Structure 1
Amino acid sequence: MRSVFGLVLIAGLALAGFAVYMVQGRMAVYQSALAEERAGRNEVATVPVFVATRTLAYGERLTAEDVRAVDWPMNAVPEGAFVDANVLFPEDQRDPRYVRRAMEKDEPLMAIKITEPGEEVGVISRLERGMRAFAISVDVASGVSGFLRPGDHVDVYWTGDVDDSRGEVTKLIQTRIKLIAVDQSASKDETETRIARTVTVAVNPQQVAALAQAQSTGQLTLSLVGFDDETIAEAIEIDQRMLLGLPEEAPQQVRQDQPMPEERVCTIRTRRGAEVANIVIPCTN
């Protein structure tokens, strides 16, 4: 009985050893094939490329929270893409960048889609919080002969008729409002003098209403303010009498010694038998 048990044990050990041998052989073959496959495969080199973390609209200010770096195949990096954070946001440059072309989430940032630091994308980037853009029609006279440039400050005068005997009146209605565009140009670097048809100013909503009312009821004239002139013009209003130095007309007064006009009495004469009587009636003329 013991001999049979021993033979079974020896046979089991032999089978287990054979199984281990087969497994080791197969593992060796698998590892060899894996090593050959890795040796024959070319590893793809990547480079960090900055993409948008959200949808970016035209005119938005670009911040560090709006971008993130992702691994991008080096042989497929789009032309103009940003691969260096110091190039995208220079440490020595505090001026912001703006979105020039709308971008979707995870879309690579490229130089053509955003402005240079400090470069303005257009009128929308010049509007501060709470301000609105308003266009004023001008000509060679009211537009200071074409010397207006985006970034200048102007005073606005209104000329029109008022409901009294003074005739036309010219009044200063807005002081030191900022120009943000001349015609369709918002560039400050233009040096050529040109006669504009419209200028766009940055004003608050109350000023928008005032300028709209003034432009629809009279003529607006712009007066250029000096570059470093911080003075605020006083309230100015000139009518024709003040312009020509004519005295004010004194209001007509009734003299105390002037007799009051007699009240008119209208009558008709009627006969009653032998008597003639005068009857008072309303006057018709």
Structure 2
Amino acid sequence: MRAVFGLVLIVGIGLAGFAVMMVQDFLAQQAQMAEAQAVPEAVPTKMVYVAKSQLKYGDEITKSNVRRIEWPEAAMPEGVFFEEAALFPENDPRPRYVLRAMEPNEAVMEVKVTQPGEDAGLTSRLVKGMRAFAIKVDVASGVSGFLRPGDRVDVYWTGRVDGVDRASSGEVTKLIETGIQLIAVDQMANGDHSEAMIARTVTVAINPQQVASLAQAQSTGRLSLSLVGNLDDTVAEAIEVDQRSLLGLADAPQIQEKREAPQREICTIRTRRGAEVVETPIACN
């Protein structure tokens, strides 16, 4: 009996030891997994320049208001500055200015700052061959104040055409320019302005031929602007509407009056010569 009891005791102790070993192995594996999760995966980064504080439109970019931080390479914006020599060229000490407002720790990019020596005015928005031209607008023609610098608009002209008979159809409206870019609204060239404002003029960037066309159109009629969507890449077709085409009326048939030439009165004298009667023309009294 004692032998059986001893055997059971030995087996129990062995099973308990085995269970302790299994628990220790399990805890060791859990600890290794926790350590592996605690160590972050290394992400490749690069040093880029960011704004140290909030920068507004027209502010000068200096070494005191920017700093370098590590930026993940996988999320690197296009046109950022990696080196100080690129942002502040040693051979050109002229300052740069902010074109678009930047928040703290926002990357400084080429599209958000001017070139060295350029100001933040309209001249920095004009590419080679383009000119700035101002168009007069009001609440209706200016899209109720929702125009912003950087938007694209279509331009419509409304007026009468000299030398063309439109007495029956009134004025005509015609699309004269499509997809031209606004570079300023009144005296504001900053596109970050978010509130609606009723403008009196908008400035567009166009070529010299378009300047002449819009100047002639503005002096002979009324101009209206139509806002184009940011993702709209369609090209508007030639559009011309008058009163008759708007109402779907057919052109009135042209009635030409035929005037007959007045008949000339002829007076004659009848003379009988035997059986024959001869008529002789004479002047009528």
User: Could you state the TM-score of these two structures normalised by the residue count of structure 1?
Assistant: 0.53
Match of 2:260 in 1: 261
Task: Confirm whether residue 278 of structure 1 aligns to residue 283 of structure 2.
Answer: yes
Contact 2:156 2:223 in 1 (8 A): yes
Residues 220-270 of structure 1, C-alpha deviations (whole Å, 9 max, x = no match): 00000001100001110000001112111122256xxx7x61335599xxx
In the TM superposition, what is the alpha-carbon distance from 1:194 to its structure 2 partner? 0.4
Deviation at 1:131, TM superposition (A): 0.5
Task: Say if 1:136 and 1:93 are closer, same or farther in 2 by CA, change over 3 A.
Answer: farther
Picking from 88, 91, 96, the partner of 1:114 is 96
Match for residue 231 of structure 1? 234
Q: Hey, which bits of structure 1, 4+ residues long, moved more than 6 A?
A: 92-97
Q: Distance in 2 between matches of 1:123 and 1:244?
A: 43
- CA distance in 2 between counterparts of 1:109 and 1:92 reads 16
Please, which of 245, 249, 253 is the counterpart of residue 246 of structure 1?
Answer: 249
**Deviations 1:4-49 (CA, angstroms, capped at 9, x unpaired):** xxxxxxxxxxxxxxxxxxxxxxxxxxxxxxxxxxxxxxxxxxxxxx
What is the aligned residue count? 174
What are the ranges of 5 or more consecutive residues in structure 1 without an aligned counterpart? 1-79, 98-105, 268-276, 281-285
- Equivalent-residue separation in structure 1 for 2:127 and 2:170 (angstroms): 39
Identical residues among aligned pairs (%): 56
Q: Is the 8 A contact 2:81 2:87 kept in 1?
A: no
Match of 1:90 among 81, 84, 89: 81
CA separation of 1:155 and 1:249: change in aligned 2, threshold 3 A: same
| Cα distance, 1:124–1:252 mapped onto 2, change above 3 Å | same
Instruction: Report the RMSD for the aligned CA atoms in angstroms.
Output: 3.5
Query: For structure 2, which runs of at least 5 residues remain unmatched after alignment?
Result: 1-61, 69-79, 99-109, 115-119, 267-281
Q: Give the secondary structure class of the aligned counterpart of 2:97.
A: coil
Contact 2:137 2:202 in 1 (8 A): yes
Determine the C-alpha separation between the residues in 1 that align with 2:86 and 2:236.
33
Q: For 1:149, give the aligned amino acid.
A: R
Counterparts of 1:1-285 in structure 2, within 5 Å, are: 90-91=81-82, 109=93, 113-116=95-98, 117=110, 118-120=112-114, 121-162=120-161, 163-165=164-166, 166-253=169-256, 261-263=260-262, 265=264, 278=283
Shift of residue 122, structure 1, vs aligned partner: 1.6
Q: Which residue of 2 aligns with 1:48?
A: none
Superposed CA deviations along residues 145-166 of structure 1, whole A, max 9, x for unmatched, are 0000000000000000123223
How far apart are residue 92 of structure 1 and its match? 6.3
Q: What code does the residue aligned with 1:187 have?
A: N
Distance 1:250 1:93, change over 3 A: farther
Provide closer, same or farther for how the CA distance between residues 194 and 241 of structure 1 changes in structure 2, counting only shifts above 3 A: same
Counterpart CA distance in 2 for 1:232 and 1:189 is: 27
CA contact (8 A) 2:150 2:182 kept: yes
